[in-house]
A and B are shown apart, each in its own frame.
Chain A
Amino acid sequence: EAQVTQNPRYLITVTGKKLTVTCSQNMNHEYMSWYRQDPGLGLRQIYYSMNVEVTDKGDVPEGYKVSRKEKRNFPLILESPSPNQTSLYFCASSGLGRRETTYEQYFGPGTRLTVT
């Protein structure tokens, strides 16, 4: 089954304790990205990756790091989490086509993070 998986699905942690949220896709997609969803602010892009070893900042990258060492995995790293990073996080992936023909993006089930 084609899917995007995220782990963990729920996480409660304390300020300053480094954590990693994993994302994996089995569709051989080049493109992967991370979004966060907050009430009243909607979904906002954190980081994205066009392919292995190619990553770039989205709209709200502060406090986050990513890496793309394998095509299927795109982990999100919070080196020193703070309460304002409490949010619902989504990973997404898609193939990359020609400029005018792009593919639909598939989203993972989400990771609900609480930082106290």
Chain B
Amino acid sequence: KQEVTQIPAALSVPEGENLVLNCSFTDSAIYNLQWFRQDPGKGLTSLLLIQSSQREQTSGRLNASLDKSSGRSTLYIAASQPGDSATYLCAPMEYGNKLVFGAGTILRVKS
């Protein structure tokens, strides 16, 4: 059974810092991996999708890497802003298009 771990569980940083959020998964037989953000009481917003054949994907200040063989993905956030405060969720996709979610990293960026 796939298990997804996200480290750290929570992070509080001053505005402007570059951040690294880590995700590890136990079964490398995945089709892709998706990063989401979730604001309190709200839905999930897709940030980045990395196909299993890709190593990296970028969108604006966000960069996600994937090392499928070692079961790891990393989300880099450059020049963090207070508006980045949210919970970040990592979700590898298995057979049947099922996303398996980690518990998330709660990020707070202080102004």
Contact = CB atoms under 8 A, between A and B. Distances in A.
Given A42-B102, A109-B43, A100 B52 contact: yes
Nearest to A101: B51
A94 interface: yes
Contact of B31 (A35, A92, A99): A99
A62 interface: no
A100 B53 contact: yes
Interface string A95-108: 01001111111111
B42 A43 contact: no
B101 A43 contact: yes
A100 B97 contact: no
B107 interface: no
Interface residues of A, number: 28
B101 A31 contact: no
Interface of B: 31-32, 34, 36, 42-46, 49, 51-53, 89, 91, 93, 96-99, 101-104
27 contacts: A31-B97, A33-B98, A35-B99, A42-B101, A42-B102, A43-B101, A44-B101, A45-B98, A50-B96, A50-B97, A58-B98, A59-B98, A90-B43, A96-B97, A100-B51, A101-B51, A102-B31, A102-B32, A103-B49, A104-B46, A104-B49, A105-B99, A107-B44, A107-B46, A108-B43, A110-B42, A110-B43
Interface of A: 31, 33, 35, 42-45, 48, 50, 56, 58-59, 90, 92, 94, 96, 99-110
4 interchain residue pairs of minimum CB distance:
A104-B49, A107-B44, A43-B101, A109-B43
